[in-house]
């Protein structure tokens, strides 16, 4: 065994922590090189044309993308399937061994198979590949070996560069699995962009957790109807104080005869005019005629950004329709309770 065959290890004079960081950086550099090689390969006809053919086929698919693979390729395949499903491409993962024991029934006319195998010679894929060929299902393969059994069986072989693995022995799937994962992400994102998949649709597929929370809309959280603190331009200062006290939003919207929001009065506005006559001073005399507002379809996270963007953050936003008519009011506490912050 030569010296180069041994894993790199720290010498007695080397700080173990520094050696660990150096080894980690070598791994990242090796995998980055692999990704750069694949990006360059996508610019070339062989992989580039296969990629665009895959996008065209998947974007018009009547059924689902059935992802399959075993070992590390199977684990990467599960992630690719999950990303496809969450970004608008119907998909399912089928384990090759389970496929051989009944799960081939999950493959239906109109489906396509996306099979992952670094070597292209994984024996466990034989039954699912044969099934795809027998029933005329589109077969797309991600592999590094263009002459492999899987690549030759595929309608569209996606041949990724055979870049060196990152482990010192060159055996453990590292660079190869990273490249598989990245190519799967590229497929999912390009399909997303081709379909015009929106943040609203993304939110529908991610209703739980922090991501789902941040994709909620203002209209989902705002207060509607009689709880809104509203008055007219002729509302007296005394009545303004009473309305703001009852509704407890720290502000009152001033609505004109046409139903549109004409202005806003805040607690700060009140403090500046408390020396005025409470019955003769009108809302129109003290309101801000150009308040910050939002719409019902704005992301809750964006509404929070608007509130915090001022030198003095504001706590409430009126929510208006396209004509400027108040639909509701949103308080910063609503955002905090929803976990948006």
Residue list for the binding site = 95
Q: What would the two tokens of residue 180 be?
A: 């598989």
For residue 167, the Cα-to-chain-centroid distance in whole angstroms is 31
3-state secondary structure of 137: coil
Instruction: Please state the residue numbers annotated as binding site for Zn(2+).
Output: 95
**Conformation bin of residue 44: beta by default, left when phi > 0, alpha when psi is -120 to 50:** beta
3-state secondary structure of 114: strand
Cβ(318)–Cβ(263) under 8 Å? Answer: no
Could you tell me which of 90, 67, 300 has the C-alpha nearest to residue 195? 90
3-state secondary structure of 248: coil
What does residue 258 show for φ and ψ, rounded to 5 degrees?
-85, 5
């Amino acid at each position: 065994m030569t010296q180069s065959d041994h894993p790199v290890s720290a010498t007695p004079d080397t700080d173990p922590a520094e050696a660990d960081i150096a080894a980690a950086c070598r791994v990242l550099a090796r995998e980055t090189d692999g990704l750069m090689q694949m990006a360059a390969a996508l610019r070339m006809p062989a992989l580039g044309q296969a990629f665009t053919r895959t996008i065209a086929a998947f974007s018009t698919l009547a059924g689902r993308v059935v992802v399959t693979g075993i070992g590390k390729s199977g684990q990467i395949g599960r992630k690719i399937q999950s990303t496809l499903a969450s970004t608008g491409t119907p998909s399912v993962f089928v384990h090759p061994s389970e496929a051989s024991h009944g799960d081939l029934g999950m493959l239906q006319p109109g489906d396509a198979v996306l099979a992952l195998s670094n070597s292209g010679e994984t024996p466990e894929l034989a039954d699912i590949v044969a099934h795809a060929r027998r029933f005329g299902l589109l077969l797309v393969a991600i592999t590094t070996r263009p002459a492999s059994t899987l690549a030759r069986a595929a309608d569209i072989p996606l041949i990724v560069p055979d870049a060196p693995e990152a482990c010192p022995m060159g055996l453990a799937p590292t660079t190869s699995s990273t490249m598989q994962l990245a190519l799967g992400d590229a497929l999912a994102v390009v399909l997303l962009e081709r379909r015009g998949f929106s943040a609203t649709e993304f939110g529908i597929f991610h209703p739980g957790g922090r991501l789902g929370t941040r994709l909620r809309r203002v209209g989902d959280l705002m207060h509607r109807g009689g709880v809104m603190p509203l008055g007219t331009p002729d509302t007296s200062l005394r009545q303004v104080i009473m309305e703001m006290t009852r509704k407890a939003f720290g502000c009152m919207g001033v609505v004109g005869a046409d139903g549109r929001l004409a202005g806003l009065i805040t607690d700060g506005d009140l403090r500046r005019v408390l020396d005025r006559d409470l019955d003769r001073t009108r809302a129109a005399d003290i309101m801000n005629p150009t308040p910050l507002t939002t719409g019902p379809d704005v992301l809750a996270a964006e509404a929070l950004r608007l509130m915090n963007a001022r030198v003095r953050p504001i706590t409430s936003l009126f929510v208006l329709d396209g004509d400027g008519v108040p639909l509701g009011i949103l308080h910063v506490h609503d955002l905090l309770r929803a976990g948006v912050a």
